[in-house]
Structure 1
Amino acid sequence: MRSIVEIIEESPIIAAVRDVKELEGAIESRAGIIFMLCGSILNMNQIIKRIKNKDKYVFIHIDLVEGLGRDSAAVEFLKGVGADGIITTRPSLIKDAKSCGMYAIQRLFMVDSRSLETGIKSILDERPNAVEIMPAATSKIIKKIHEKINIPVIAGGLVLEKSDVINALSNGAVAVSTSQNFLWDE
């Protein structure tokens, strides 16, 4: 299994798909990684096959898939239908994904100094393959977390223009996820 850093270095702008209607644009973009932030247990197999047919990596935000439990069986289901990894806010799912050979991205929302402290502790306890910090506009926080952990940081949320991408990358993020499809080909 390639390291997540190698995968991200090839494609530092990640297509974040919030609606299945946006999937075709993500598949046809230059983005090599797609974060699926939507879908259901009924269409996930088809979605993953379409993405994999274009030789792209697909990470499923397991917390947002309709009809899918938030447990180890859900992780195993996603592995079985070809997902490369999961995105989650739930630490227990990080362990489940890693134990079955999938990549695990822990999503953290930075809203105050307490969330920074608990986020760093959770990262160090669970050791995900990467961490997605939200919102990406918190460049000082990205830099602080990047300095304290030895895990790749992905910036996401409120990435509205190219300068947001540049700012996040210059503060230590290895990649940026965005639903702004005009940025997917940057």
Structure 2
Amino acid sequence: MEFEKIVRENPVLAAVKDEAELEEVLKSDGVQIIFVLFGDVCIIPGIVERIKDRGKFAIVHADLVEGLSSKEVVVDYLKSNTRLDGIISTKQSIIRRGIELGLFTVLRCFVLDTKSLINLQRWLDSGVKPDVVELMPGIAPKIIRLIRKTGKGIPVIAGGLITEEWEVREALVAGAVAVSTTNSKLWFMYEKNSLN
């Protein structure tokens, strides 16, 4: 996947949490990467198919697919039964399996205190290297800068609690390569026809 090229052109990633949001973002030519934060074992193949039919990248939050276990086999199921490009997870074993299967991997981390920051550093030192780390909440530029310095060169996505354009810009200035948001008014702020 040409992730870095895509996020340079449009650094706001659509994180969709229901069917209506998916429909809205599928109509856009500007949004190229979609984080799927909903679905179950029966409908996830169809969701991914619709995204791929529009020429977009489908990144599925493996932890949120209802009806599947939290074991590594969830990644095998998704790889075998969909055309997804990548997975999101908070679990090291899921990320490891995604890497083994050649999927794009997004490690989603909640950095709420010093202990969670230390745990993230240990995780990154363990040898399992996701393609990107998504830091939550994304409104913490200090943490973004710190992880960019100490995160083994792994790109950072800011996600969570981002509701304003200035917050998107602040996260990008702090070193995030992209921002994921469920706020649909921000999905299109970098489209070629929008005013920045």
TM-score, structure 1 as length reference: 0.95
Contact 1:4 1:103 in 2 (8 A): no
Code of the aligned partner of 1:11: N
Residues 6-55 of structure 1: per-residue CA shift (max 9 Å, x gap): 34334311000012221111212321100011111110011001000111
CA distance in 2, matches of 1:148, 1:3: 24
Structure 2 partner of 1:132:
134
Q: How far apart, in 2, do the equivalents of 1:101 and 1:18 lie? A: 25
> In the aligned structure 1, how far is the partner of 2:27 from the partner of 2:174?
29
* Superposed displacement of residue 148, structure 1: 0.8
The answer to whether the Cα contact below 8 Å between 1:133 and 1:154 also exists between their aligned partners in 2 is yes
Question: Residue 23 of structure 1 aligns with which residue?
Answer: 22
1:5 is aligned to 2:4: yes
Q: Which residue of 2 aligns with 1:53?
A: 53
Work out whether residues 10 and 32 of structure 1, in 8 Å CA contact, stay in contact via their aligned partners in 2: no
Letter in 2 for 1:168: A
1:109 aligns with 2:110: yes
Within a 5 Å distance, the mapping from 1:28-107 to structure 2 comes to 28-29=27-28, 30-80=30-80, 81-107=82-108
- More divergent stretch after superposition (144-153 vs 7-16): 7-16
Matches within 5 A, 1:147-186: 147-149=149-151, 150-186=153-189
User: CA 1:20/1:124 → structure 2, altered by over 3 Å: closer, same or farther?
Assistant: farther
* Cα distance in structure 2, aligned partners of 1:183 and 1:28: 15
Q: CA offsets, 1:43-100, max 9 Å, x none? A: 0011001000111111111111111122222102212211111100000111100101
Deviates more, 1:17-26 or 1:7-16: 7-16
Q: CA deviation at 1:182?
A: 1.0
Q: CA distance change for structure 1 residues 78 and 8 in 2, over 3 Å: closer, same or farther?
A: farther
Stretches of structure 1 that go unaligned for 5 or more consecutive residues are none
Relative to structure 2, which stretch is displaced further, 94-103 or 66-75?
66-75
Identity percentage of aligned residues: 40
Q: Give the superposed CA RMSD.
A: 1.2
Counterparts of 1:67 and 1:7, CA distance in 2 = 32
Extract structure 1 runs of 4+ deviating beyond 3 A: none
With the length of structure 2 as denominator, give the TM-score of the two structures: 0.90
Structure 1 letter corresponding to 2:18 = D
Aligned-partner SS, 2:58: strand
> Which deviates more, 151-160 or 4-13?
4-13
CA distance in 1, matches of 2:9, 2:166: 20
Structure 2: gaps spanning 5 or more residues: 190-196
CA distance, structure 1, for counterparts of residue 187 and residue 67 of structure 2: 29
Indicate the SS of the match to 2:59.
Answer: strand
